[in-house]
Structure 1
Amino acid sequence: MNIYPKKDFNIKDVRASLKPLSIAGVMAKLMDTFCAGTFLIAYALELKASYFEIGILTSLVHFGNLFQIPMAYLIEKYHYRKLLLALSHVVARAGLFATSMLIFFSTKSWVVEALIIIYAIRYFSGRAGAIAWNSMIKDLIPNKIMGSYFANRMKYQISAGIIASLIGAYFIDFWKKSYPENAIYAYSFIIFVGGIFAVINTLIFMKVPEPPMKSSKETEGMSFFVKFQAPFKDKNFIKITKFLCSWNFANNLAIPFFSAFLLKEMDIDLFTISCLNILSQMTNVILLNIWGKIADKYCYKSVLFTTTPLLIFSVFLFIFVDFSQFKPVLTPFLCFIHLLIGMAQAGITLSTTNIALKNAHSQLASTYLSANSIMVSFSSALASIIGGSLIDFLSSHKSFEIKFFGNVFHMTNASSWDLLFVISILFCFISLYFLKKVSEKGETSIKNVLQEFIFIFKNKVKNNIIFRIKYKVASLSPFEYEEIVFIDPINEQKTIKKKRKLKSFKSRKKSS
């Protein structure tokens, strides 16, 4: 296990790194599923946290990106990305085990503040390490396979997250029914298990060789502060950052509170909420490869212009969730909303994750990405705090009035969430204005993207049906074929070997 850059790094190391990176990604997803999102919010609610405190808790992951500035400085100075990442992981992983121990202090008045402090340390350390990871991946994964590789990697991650969400939610609901007075212990156990997956993630990633940092005459001899100014002089990168800032602000006003809204206001159990999230994630998995291929053929901007309106429409539909007319069909209605969210998030998550990575200067990747992350994170964190504060304020007033251009609107406690969703939608439309100004090679119209999407989707379904027919026909034959297919991920060369042999008696009996 070498924690220093490999001087003789070559194409064989790239091939050898792809599988461990995917496995490490799955472990990271299991950690995030158990230690963040719905389970963390439910744990905080069990500890009697307010919406404002939940807003702070969800904002910490974004504020943590501010620590990427000193990390970027250390990377540029020492070029030891893997070592710095390992050190940040040690601190971040320790915070998860400390969080699981808070159940022994659940009656204390300071327990929620302790949870926030522990997660602040965890996110500040973990997000600082993220810039080392991004910079290393930029040099490790070739651009021509980046979209399809990360689409496949995210597919495995989401699949693991689906299974983990289902198991975790079932375990918590079962524990609550069996031991209603000690329900909080179930959340503690889930977070502890997430910590174990986090440790496994670090151990696997440490086996991935680190490529040496790229340098050129253009950047050689430049001070860190001069390098850090470079992203702010890149007009197109600034446009990308403006879009990501506005988009993340709009989303973090409302989306982090969806689970809290369904748990507390709609009184829906955790297992049902997890099933809804699983439906969204399954849709995400099915469509990720398609969006990855479209992004490789065209660009991430075109994918974003196609998928963002779908997510905006999904947030709009959330306004009608608490309408009494929808009570009889609430579950199917929520399923439909989460289906749309999954379809949209498949393209949005892939594109927003990689658009900055793709357009960053190759010799200044760490400074470009840290500058982008800091600005985006600040807007996201601010949105989470504003969203939580707004919900607490509106919930504390049974009714109030809003004056708008001489018109008076009477608002009730129930409609306070609707107001939050409407504000989020308005900011989403503003972000699309900034996206329009971004320039990226391979831009095309929404019509072309949709045509390509339908074409790939049809072929995917068609090939699946043909495969099943061929398999059925082959099962009637007295012979069986052993086929080995190898696809080189770098040059995309395909090698197929077939070997025919007579079926055994047991195989014939099964096929008949």
Structure 2
Amino acid sequence: MPAVTYQTLLGGPFLTGYLLYLGAESGMIGFVLAVTTFFNIIQILTAYLVQRLQYRKKAMIISTALNRILWGTTGLIPFVFDREWWIPVFLVLYSAAFIAGTVSGMLWTSVISDMVPAKVRGRYFGIRNTMLNALGAVVLFAGGLILDWYPGGKGFLILFAIAWVAMAANLPLFFLYPDPPFERSKETRFWPMVRKPLSDQPFIKSTLFLGGWLFLQTLVVPLYSYAMLDVLEISYSVVSMMTVSQTAVMMIGFYVWGNLNARFSNRTLLFWTLPLIAASSMAWGLLSVLPVIPVLLVSHMLLGAGVGGFNQLAFNFMIGDTPKGDRPMFIAMYSAITGVAAFLGPLIGGQVFKLLLDAPEWMQHYGFQLLVGVLMLLTAWLLGRRVLLGGKQAAL
């Protein structure tokens, strides 16, 4: 719960708003939103080194502490550095924070997959994510109000102050985690260990497809907040309400997808999340005929239903459809491939938004989102069915 509190206040629309306050433009915002996923490549080396650990818990706590401390320190930038250094220093601290976060994330995924029995995994994570996203919705709403009441630096200082308290409360809780026995891979050499997930055809085909999908998705979805705040010039409170509506639908979706996962395979359900995400992006085209607020509400509700299911099912795919002893390397390979794709998406998307500054107004407001949504729908229908629903892996 404290982790969700600080992640909500320092991420999402608030991260975009903070970057705008520091003086970033769309290309830089796209880079910041993308760079964290690029660091997932480090997980491959981490998965190899973790085989030499006697206890995963200690390494997880150290890397988690570094992530929290470095990320929280970004809130001090306006008070310590001259304005011309704000963005460069933020990039250094934020990048270092998420290098540590990449290591802790892989270790946490490995530990939690051993903690939660496979037969209840789908339902457990459905209930868990529903509860945490309920909290996230409340924090989002409160954070939006704070920034509207106290615009500029004062508002962000309040958000960071709350986040610092949440981080301090979060870290001691990791000491309460159990440290379940670690089943190591039978392979001890680096390259043979890397080749195992690469030679697993159903796994690697699905992973490559999901990487391509995430590239298309992240061209526009991470920049929704930028489009609302800077292009459509909507207030923080309204943007927060959009994200709250997305989170509310996501909460319901977590429970529904979790229960469905007890009956249907991860790959089958993953496929059916794709049209919902595509429809979210395509819905921006309704701005041509309908008022802004209803259109954005529909878009974010569709996104909540789709992305919530996608993230949960992709997580279950990583930890449930992979061999236990080699799971860290499978997780790392999935994270590396999809991470590179999700790095390129916002990076290119941010540059496209920058180029659209001289384009017709309709193209700035919804044209790019509509085009990418159509491409996502075609990709899901033409490739997704073959990869995720084809052959024995599509068995229900």
TM-score under structure 1 normalisation?
0.73
Q: C-alpha separation between the residues in 1 aligned to 2:339 and 2:33?
A: 11
**Alignment RMSD (CA, Å):** 2.0
Tell me how far apart the structure 2 counterparts of residues 331 and 422 of structure 1 sit (CA, whole Å).
Answer: 17
Structure 1 276/29 Cα, relative in aligned 2: closer, same or farther at 3 Å?
A: same
Other-structure match for 2:340: 378
Per-residue deviation, 1:355: 1.4
Given that 1:55 and 1:387 are in contact with CA atoms closer than 8 Å, whether structure 2 keeps it comes out as yes
Identity of aligned residues (%): 22
Deviations 1:100-151 (A, max 9, x none): 1012257521211211111100111101211111111222211100000000
Question: Relative to 1, partners in 2 of residues 1:296 and 1:442: Cα closer, same or farther, differing over 3 Å?
Answer: farther
Structure 1 pair 249/174, CA: closer, same or farther in 2 (3 Å)?
Answer: same
Q: Is the 8 A contact 1:51 1:391 kept in 2?
A: yes
In the alignment, structure 1 residue 391 sits paired with structure 2 residue 341: no
Deviation at 1:202, TM superposition (A): 2.5
Structure-2 separation of matches of 1:413 and 1:136: 49
The residue number in structure 1 matching 2:387 is 437
Shift of 1:342: 2.3
Q: For each residue in 1:234-280, what CA deviation from the matched residue of structure 2 results, as whole angstroms up to 9, or x when unmatched?
A: 00110121122012111110001111111111111010111111112
**CA deviations over 1:313-336 (Å, ceiling 9, x no partner):** 121011332x3x42xx32223222
Secondary structure of the corresponding residue to residue 142 of structure 2: helix
More helix by percentage = 2
Return the offset for 1:419. Answer: 4.2
Give the match for residue 361 of structure 1: 323
Question: Could you say which residue in structure 2 is the equivalent of 1:190?
Answer: 159
1:40 aligned partner:
15
- Checking the alignment, whether the CA contact within 8 Å between 1:253 and 1:383 is kept in structure 2 is yes
The 5 A counterparts of 1:252-401 are: 252-321=218-287, 323=288, 325-326=289-290, 329-395=291-357, 398-399=358-359
Change (3 A) 1:435 1:191: farther
Q: Which amino acid aligns with 1:385?
A: L
The one-letter amino acid paired with 2:27 is: F
Paired position in structure 2 for 1:472: none
- Equivalent AA in structure 1 for residue 338 of structure 2: V
What does 1:22-421 align with in structure 2 at a 5 Å threshold? 26-105=1-80, 108-176=83-151, 183-215=152-184, 219-220=185-186, 222-321=188-287, 323=288, 325-326=289-290, 329-395=291-357, 398-399=358-359, 412=360, 414-416=362-364, 418-421=366-369
Structure 1: stretches of 5+ with no match in the other structure: 1-25, 177-182, 400-411, 445-512
Instruction: Tell me the alpha carbon deviations over residues 173-227 of structure 1, each in whole angstroms, 9 at most, x when there is no partner.
Output: 1112xxxxxx222113313322332332221122111111114xxx435323321
Provide Cα deviations, 1:144-173, integer angstroms capped at 9, x if missing partner: 000000001100110010010011111111
SS in 1 for 2:222: helix
Structure 2 residue 372 is matched with structure 1 residue 424: yes
Instruction: Give per-residue Cα distances to partners, 1:401-421, cap 9 Å, x unaligned.
Output: xxxxxxxxxxx2541454432
Unaligned runs of 5+ in 2: none
Amino acid at match of 2:155: A
What's the offset of the Cα at 1:440? 6.5
1:261-320 C-alpha deviation (Å, 9 max, x unpaired): 111111110101111111121122123212111111111222222232122112101133
Cα deviation 1:379-428 (Å, max 9, x = unaligned) = 10011111111111232xx24xxxxxxxxxxxx25414544324422145
Aligned residues: 392
Residues 435 and 120 (structure 1), Cα distance of their counterparts in 2 relative to 1, 3 Å cut: farther
The one of the two structures with greater contact order (alpha-carbon pairs below 8 A, sep at least 6) is 2
The structure having more radius of gyration, on CA atoms, is 1
The code of the aligned residue for 1:379 comes to: A
- 1:452 counterpart residue number: none
Contact 1:246 1:427 (8 Å CA) reproduced: no
Report the secondary structure of 2:150's partner residue.
Answer: helix
Relative to total residues, which structure has the larger strand share, 1 or 2? Answer: 1
- C-alpha separation between the residues in 2 aligned to 1:243 and 1:361? 20
Q: Distance in 2 between matches of 1:342 and 1:118?
A: 30
Does the 8 Å CA contact 1:298/1:442 hold for their aligned counterparts?
no
Q: Go from structure 1 to structure 2 and tell me whether the alpha carbon gap of 1:332 and 1:419 turns closer, same or farther (over 3 Å shift).
A: closer
Query: C-alpha deviations, 1:335-386, integer Å up to 9, x for none?
Result: 2222222222332222122212211111101111101101110010011111
Regions of 4+ moved over 6 Å: none
SS across alignment from 1:95: helix
CA drift at 1:52: 0.8
